[in-house]
A and B are shown apart, each in its own frame.
Chain A
Amino acid sequence: MDPIVIIGSGLAGYNVARELRKLDKQTPLIVLSADSAHFYPKPTLSNSLAINKAPENIPISSPEQMASQLNATVRPLTRVTAIDPTRHAIRIGDETVNYSKLVLALGADQIRVPLRGNAVERVMTVNDLEDYGRLRAAIKDKRAVAVIGAGLIGCEFANDLTGAGFKVDVIDIAGQPLPRLLPPEGGALLQRKLAALGVTWHLGTSAASIDRNGDGVRITLADGTVIDADVVLSAIGLKPRITLARAAGLKTNRGIVVSRSLQTSAPDVYVLGDCAEVEGLVLPFVMPIMHAARALAATLAGKPTAVIYPAMPVVVKTPACPTVVSPPPASAAGAWSITADDESVKALFLGADGKLLGFALNGKATAERAALTQQLPPVLA
């Protein structure tokens, strides 16, 4: 029998393999990874600088340990070049590997900001363990880091870098941090708390150009402000990796389009994680991956199973202002109801019938996360 093949060794790829092995210990399994195939908790990449964690101390398991735990073949540094769904085969350069079932756990790329100037190549992004190592090397003995993007990853890095002693400037076109996740009141508290820690905000404007300036760079903003920095980190968002799937004729949109059973438009080809689009939802967070991994593992083991997403609050790791959000559905009609003081914001998104549809908690209000989560409707029932 041909093996089950998983492309990707991130949280999505390895967790579906782990869940599968709880149900099926024998079917041959191959995990293909474009990188070193270490297993590590990716969310720690944006909060490990202040505790001075070396890249080699982040992985929990080596590829060899994963292969042994999973009773699988794990192939690092192996890039799949094509998928041929009609033949149930993938190609790795000249090599062909047949599969019985194929799982795409390809992840997402950091979106690149379009910038002018002669130092555009100096803009760094952190999307994997290797990137983290590069960032850590780049900031060694340096002082100033500019962060483009005040979303989840940008804010986490701003907090972490400031905590590690750096002078940090954060730039975002929006007028507040976490514009897609927090109402203005919560954004204001997070902004104030990070400013108190030392972060300098440049909101409502964007980076226009970046040029060499001695050993560092000079960033010019659309409003004319000039920022000198040693290192520039960009974190403006993620773009699902869909190229391989699209070239194979699979249906794609923002992500690779799958059914509730996580199946693509081709038989026996499944997708989960940051590259998947389930009923219009692309959710690049840990909890959706875990739910998808369990459902998909059951399907791969022979019991077709639809993914169910309960309410899945997202924790933003900004210790200066603890933040947890469960955004209301994009289409939801309703309004924010806000209780705030100097140290906390409790924002509840209430539907027309008064039912809780989402929340955004900052500071001490985060203690109410568990109680409020129980009142939320599921994201996909």
Chain B
Amino acid sequence: MRKWQCIVCGYTYDEAAGDPEHGIAAGTRWEDIPAGWSCPDCGVAKADFEMALLAA
């Protein structure tokens, strides 16, 4: 399971946790999230996310 970070506000999408509040079940892979989904914290589109770097 990977983590993705919103490049605008820093929100992290954790595939393991999903975003159940917005209809994305836990375990949903990034590529399986609909293109219409947007960052729950700042509203930017899925296209504006980038892979988060996990802290060493």
Q: Is the interface of B mostly helix, strand, loop or mixed?
A: loop
CB distance from A370 to the nearest CB of B (A): 5
Q: For A371, give the chain B residue with the smallest CB separation.
A: B21
Q: For A60, give the chain B residue with the smallest CB separation.
A: B7
Chain B positions within 8 Å of A44 at CB level:
10
Bound-complex Cα distance A312 to B44 (A): 13
Chain A positions within 8 Å of B50 at CB level:
60
Bound-complex Cα distance A328 to B8 (A): 25
In the complex, the answer to whether B8 meets A15 with C-beta atoms within 8 Å is yes
The answer to whether B27 has its CB under 8 Å from any CB of chain A is no
Bound-complex Cα distance A51 to B50 (A): 19
In the complex, the answer to whether A57 meets B53 with C-beta atoms within 8 Å is yes
- Asked, given contacts A60-B50, A370-B21, whether A43 binds B10 with beta carbons under 8 Å apart, the answer is yes
Q: Is the interface of A mostly helix, strand, loop or mixed?
A: helix
- Asked, given contacts A41-B6, A41-B10, whether A286 binds B41 with beta carbons under 8 Å apart, the answer is yes
In the complex, the answer to whether A52 meets B42 with C-beta atoms within 8 Å is no
- Asked, given contacts A286-B42, A290-B44, whether A57 binds B7 with beta carbons under 8 Å apart, the answer is no
Tell me which of B7, B21, B53 contacts A367 (CB under 8 A): B21
In the complex, the answer to whether A290 meets B43 with C-beta atoms within 8 Å is yes
Considering only residues 33-56 of chain B, those with a C-beta below 8 Å from chain A are 40-44, 50, 53, 55
Chain A positions within 8 Å of B7 at CB level:
39, 41, 60
Bound-complex Cα distance A72 to B33 (A): 32
Kindly supply a per-residue 1/0 record for chain B positions 2-16, scoring 1 wherever the CB is within 8 Å of any chain A CB and 0 otherwise. Answer: 000111111000000
Chain B positions within 8 Å of A60 at CB level:
7, 50
| Size class of the contact patch on chain A | 20 to 34
Interface size, chain B (Cβ < 8 Å): 17
CB distance from B10 to the nearest CB of A (A): 3
Chain A positions within 8 Å of B22 at CB level:
370
In the complex, the answer to whether A57 meets B21 with C-beta atoms within 8 Å is no
Bound-complex Cα distance A367 to B22 (A): 9
Bound-complex Cα distance A369 to B5 (A): 21
The answer to whether A227 has its CB under 8 Å from any CB of chain B is no
Q: For B19, give the chain A residue with the smallest CB separation.
A: A370
Q: For B41, give the chain A residue with the smallest CB separation.
A: A315
Bound-complex Cα distance A139 to B54 (A): 23
Bound-complex Cα distance A331 to B3 (A): 41
The answer to whether A53 has its CB under 8 Å from any CB of chain B is yes
Chain B positions within 8 Å of A370 at CB level:
21-22, 40
Chain B positions within 8 Å of A367 at CB level:
20-21
- Asked, given contacts A370-B21, A370-B22, whether A287 binds B42 with beta carbons under 8 Å apart, the answer is yes
Residue of B6, B42, B53 ringed by the most chain A CB atoms within 10 A: B42
In the complex, the answer to whether A290 meets B21 with C-beta atoms within 8 Å is no
The answer to whether A300 has its CB under 8 Å from any CB of chain B is no
CB distance from B30 to the nearest CB of A (A): 17
Considering only residues 112-157 of chain A, those with a C-beta below 8 Å from chain B are none
Q: For A315, give the chain B residue with the smallest CB separation.
A: B41
In the complex, the answer to whether A286 meets B55 with C-beta atoms within 8 Å is no
Tell me which of B6, B9, B10, B21 contacts A369 (CB under 8 A): B21
Bound-complex Cα distance A11 to B50 (A): 16
Chain A positions within 8 Å of B41 at CB level:
43, 286-287, 315
Bound-complex Cα distance A290 to B21 (A): 22
**Selected A-B contacts with CB under 8 Å, 22 pairs:** A15-B8, A39-B7, A41-B6, A41-B8, A41-B10, A42-B10, A43-B10, A43-B41, A44-B10, A47-B10, A57-B53, A286-B8, A286-B41, A287-B41, A287-B42, A290-B42, A291-B43, A312-B43, A315-B40, A315-B41, A367-B21, A370-B22
Q: Which residues of A contact B (CB under 8 A)?
A: 11, 15, 39, 41-44, 47, 51-53, 57, 60, 286-287, 290-291, 312, 315, 367, 369-370
Q: Which residues of B contact A (CB under 8 A)?
A: 5-10, 20-22, 40-44, 50, 53, 55
Instruction: Given contacts A41-B6, A52-B55, list 9 more A-B pairs with CB under 8 A.
Output: A11-B8, A41-B7, A42-B10, A57-B55, A290-B42, A290-B44, A315-B41, A370-B21, A370-B22
